[in-house]
Chain A
Amino acid sequence: MNAVAVSSSSAPSPVTAFPNRQPLLDVRGLSIALPPSADRELAVDALTFTLNPNEILCVVGESGSGKSMTAHAVMGLLPVPSVRVAAGALLFKGNNVLTMSEPEQRALRGGRIAMVFQEPMTALNPLMRVGDQVEESLRIHTDLDRTARKARVIELFAQVGLPNPAELVRSYPFRLSGGQRQRVMIALALACEPDVLIADEPTTALDVTTQKQILDLIRAIQAERQMGVMFITHDFGVVAEIAHRVAVMRHGKLVEIGTADEVLNRPSHPYTRQLIASVPHAMGDRPPFTPAGEPLLLAEGLHKTFHVGGGLFKKGKEVTAGKNISLTIHPGETVGLVGESGSGKSTLGRSVMGLMKPDSGRLLYKGTDLLSLDRRAFRPFRREIQMVFQDPYASLNPRRMVGEIIAQGPIAFGEAPAQAMARASELLTMVGLDASAAKRFPHEFSGGQRQRISIARALAMGPSLLIADEPVSALDVSVQAQVLALLDDIRHRLNLSMLFITHDLRVASRVCDTIAVMQRGSIVEMGPAAEVFGNPQHPYTQSLIDAIPGRGWEIPADLSHGEGVSA
């Protein structure tokens, strides 16, 4: 869209440190205490680092590493008194933020230090025009009069690349797309020309093409204003795209800090090495897939339109989720269905599962049209087609034991409960969990472990086709790599076919034989994975591949074959 003019350099040049200049932000021995009921004592443990002017420092870590907590401490957003700073100092240009009075801190926040949040959907007040929200910050922190403020807001909106800024200031947040809202958030953060910008996973909730635009924007604005940016992320691709220096955190401790070149290309700490090895990347040694025999699943001309809103007297809006979708899956083949949010990729998966009925088209499974079957007639196919869901926290019934969850399907199909439970224990071992897990409840397991349980549940039915709907998008990278490795392993062992739905091209390239790219309800390109990635034909596929963060960065050769991922 209207991206700000950005210098074309794709890999940022590492900025040399400023030995003579005072750091903008100097964190010394910062410890943040958690309430006694938490699983560990300190969220952040004796953390020390500096943020210099004119640099982007990426703070990388998995969930629970304390990276967001650090940012929140700087911004005074810790939920005191349950979580509080236990020790250490936070110096902004030499003054300790923690010992400042409340009014001094307020002047700092939003004025000298500004923050951009992860969720652009919730970070803006839904009942206030976006222009007014930015103006509010100017009113508090500057002496500008009303007209000057209005002009400044429009100027800011233009700078962050929002289309038609003079009109857009009067819009409410719900009218804007996710990317536009994040631009508004950035405009809000920039309103008072801060010295430090803290960005907490600002692109995690966005689609990959939008992510690229926002990353370009942040990099351009940082360079133009010589700001210090503390960029929090879990994604090494994003780090490679934007960082000058990188700090790696784990369990509240800093494990490694250095220039982007050092950390990305010559990581020294084992944890950093493990994280980088987990970054999804194409396996070069995958043999090309040759389809044999009749196709297992054949989708022909599927259409699906949703009717949103409306009522007795007014007609609702129509949203096209599927437009003439055709796709084949052969026995033993893994087809990746890739697309951004709203492209209709889940519609196809759900139609195959019988969770949704397309308006027209045919869906042949071993020659039977699934769409012509009613619920009773569909039932035998439940054993053949199984699904692994996206959210490991929502896909397991919290009130039932893991063994029951896995055995429920076979029992519903008439298997003896004792036998089904024995099989459940076997499956748990197969997906890398202890057989004793059967007697425990889902909440006792981590996200990755739950996803393994979810896979075991699907396998219990003995399926031939597995639909995996974003199975790893809710997981940390190292766990993601393990679950992908597991899926890859079982599909070879059991000769499964798989429809792998994902928004992440890197993940798709890791497991799929064939890739189908979806845009606005249609498949725009389909072919062998190597061809789609190596020589994309459709402009949309090209833009998707172009937008993969950190494309210029090659994972160090000694890590590219999955060190420490085998677990």
Chain B
Amino acid sequence: MQSMNFWRAYARNKGAVIGLLIMAVVVVLGLFAPLIYPESPWDMVNAPFLGPMEEGSLLGTDTLGRDIASGIAHGARVSLLIGLTSTAVALVIGVTLGALAGFFGGWVDDTLMRFTELFQTIPNFVLTVVLVAIFTPSQGSIVLAIAIVSWPPLARLARAEFMALRSREFVQAAITTGQSNATIIFREILPNSLSPLIVSSSLMVATAVLLESSLSFLGLGDPNAMSWGYMVGAARTVIRQAWWMSFFPGLAILLTVLALNLIGEGLNDALNPRVARKGKA
């Protein structure tokens, strides 16, 4: 019943449906990459500098003769994996700190928020680069670095939600019926603050995908994983001779980020119907 309403509200946003379709394609591509392109994307399978549709190569080859289509399929795995895991880590850190700050208030709130602001004052990308450089690039260190720079907005959001819900009468009713703090946090407040958190974390996946691409572009990606950002970075010197080498990975980044943003908007319409923009009915 409720899930039916959710889908109806979601589907009303045409862009969100398109976003979901693009995302589905990317996910399928990532999941089945080893089946579609069984060979490693690092293998030189063809002559270098082949344009799209030349000699049986769908999207052409790069400067060393590696297949670009294969790189994009395998790169989807990296982008999605890093996007999702780093957002999950950021959610855990952000929601925990935000919930504690919002629920307990007082000095707990002050301490945690000053700590959060410490992270917010440092430019995101610079901090990621520094962290990855310190930890040496690997999938784990990249996930951690992205999570460390992305949690502060989630903490602030969770804190605001918890503060607002804390004073609601149903939470006070839970206090007056002798519920423990843990019960109040997990059963009363958290379920009611999930919608905005889901919406902003769906947008955060998009930011994480972009951050990962930027890191790989600078050569700070995982050296063992083919990624979209790396492909664009490696091809930038020959962009005038061989546009396709940077164009297709770039397009993949663009479409994925766009799709995630559209999904985020659709979720917002479906989960927060009251704040959804009007005049769209």
Residues in chain B near residue A399, CB distance under 8 A? 191-192
Docked Cα-Cα span, A353 to B175, in Å, equals 9
Given A82-B281, A398-B192, A399-B192 in contact, is the A412-B180 Cβ separation under 8 Å? Answer: yes
| Minimum CB distance partner of B192 in chain A | A399
Excluding A390-B169, A397-B191, A408-B179, 15 further A-B contacts by CB distance (< 8 Å) are A35-B281, A355-B172, A382-B177, A386-B177, A389-B169, A389-B172, A395-B173, A396-B170, A396-B173, A398-B192, A399-B191, A400-B187, A409-B178, A457-B173, A461-B177
- SS of B interface (majority): helix
B109 at the interface (CB under 8 A from A): no
Task: Looking at the assembled complex, report how far the CB atom of A161 sits from the nearest CB atom of chain B, in whole angstroms.
Answer: 36
Chain B residues in 8 Å Cβ range of A379: 178
What B residues does A391 contact at CB under 8 A?
A: 169
B170 touches A395 (CB 8 A): yes
Hey, which bits of chain A sit against chain B, CB under 8 A?
Answer: 35, 82, 353-355, 379, 382-383, 385-387, 389-391, 394-400, 408-409, 412-413, 454, 457, 460-461
Is there an interface contact between B177 and A397, defined as CB atoms closer than 8 Å? no
> Contacts of A386 on B, CB cut-off 8 Å?
176-177
**Chain A min CB distance to B130 (Å):** 32
Identify the 8 closest CB pairs spanning chains A and B, nearest first.
A409-B177, A395-B169, A382-B178, A389-B169, A399-B191, A394-B169, A397-B170, A412-B178
How far is B173's CA from A389's CA once the two chains are assembled, in angstroms? 8
Q: Are B191 and A457 in contact (CB under 8 A)?
A: no
Residue numbers in B under 8 Å from A409 (CB-CB): 177-179
On whether A457 and B177 interact (CB within 8 A), knowing A397-B188, A399-B192, A412-B183, the answer reads yes
1/0 per residue, CB under 8 A from A, across B190-224: the answer is: 01100000000000000000000000000000000
Residues of B within 8 A of A383 (CB): 178
B contact residues, range: 10 to 19
Pick the contact of B168 from A394, A408, A461 — CB < 8 Å?
A394
**Set of chain B residues within 8 Å of A413, measured between Cβ atoms:** 178
Contact of B176 among A82, A353, A394, A400 (CB under 8 A): A353
Q: How far is the CA of A398 from the CA of B192 in the complex (A)?
A: 8
- Beta-carbon contact of B176 and A355 below 8 Å: yes
CB distance from B22 to the nearest CB of A (A): 30
Pairwise interchain contact B169-A412, C-beta atoms closer than 8 A = no
B127 at the interface (CB under 8 A from A): no
Is chain A's interface secondary structure helix, strand, loop, or mixed overall?
loop
Hey, which chain A residues are within 8 Å of B173, CB to CB?
387, 389, 395-396, 454, 457
| A398–B189 alpha-carbon span in the complex (Å) | 10
Q: Which of B177, B180, B187, B281 has the most CB of A within 10 A?
A: B177
Tell me which residues across on chain A come within 8 A of B178, comparing CB atoms: 379, 382-383, 409, 412-413
Contact between A355 and B183 (Cβ–Cβ < 8 Å)? Answer: no
Residues of B close to A397: CB separation below 8 A: 170, 174, 187-188, 191-192
Bound-complex Cα distance A454 to B175 (A) = 14
User: Quick one: closest B residue to A408, CB to CB?
Assistant: B177
Contact B170 A394 (CB under 8 A): yes
Q: What are 11 A-to-B residue pairs whose CB atoms are below 8 Å? A: A82-B281, A353-B176, A379-B178, A382-B178, A385-B176, A387-B176, A395-B170, A397-B174, A397-B191, A399-B191, A409-B177
User: Given the complex, which residues of B lie within 8 Å of A454, measured CB to CB?
Assistant: 173
Q: Which of B245-281 contact A (CB under 8 A)?
A: 281
Interface residues of B in 141-181 (CB under 8 A from A): 168-170, 172-180
A400 closest partner in B (C-beta): B187
The A-contacting residues of B in range 88-109, CB under 8 angstroms, are: none
Find chain A residues with CB under 8 A from B174 CB. 397, 408
Question: Given A82, A412, A460, which contacts B179 in the complex, CB threshold below 8 Å?
Answer: A412
Which residues from chain A contact B191 at a C-beta distance below 8 Å?
397, 399
Q: How far is the CA of A387 from the CA of B180 in the complex (A)?
A: 18
Q: Which residues of A contact B177 (CB under 8 A)?
A: 382, 386, 408-409, 412, 457, 460-461
Q: How far is the CB of A390 from chain B (nearest CB, A)?
A: 7
- Measured in the bound complex, the distance between the Cα atoms of B168 and A103 in whole Å is 45
Residues of A close to B192: CB separation below 8 A: 397-399
On chain A, the residues within 8 Å of B176 by CB distance are 353-355, 382, 385-387
Q: How far is the CA of A10 from the CA of B140 in the complex (A)?
A: 80
Name B187's closest neighbour in chain A (CB-CB): A400
How far is it, in angstroms, between the C-alpha of A385 and the C-alpha of B177 when the chains are bound?
A: 9
CA–CA, A390 and B176, complex, Å: 15
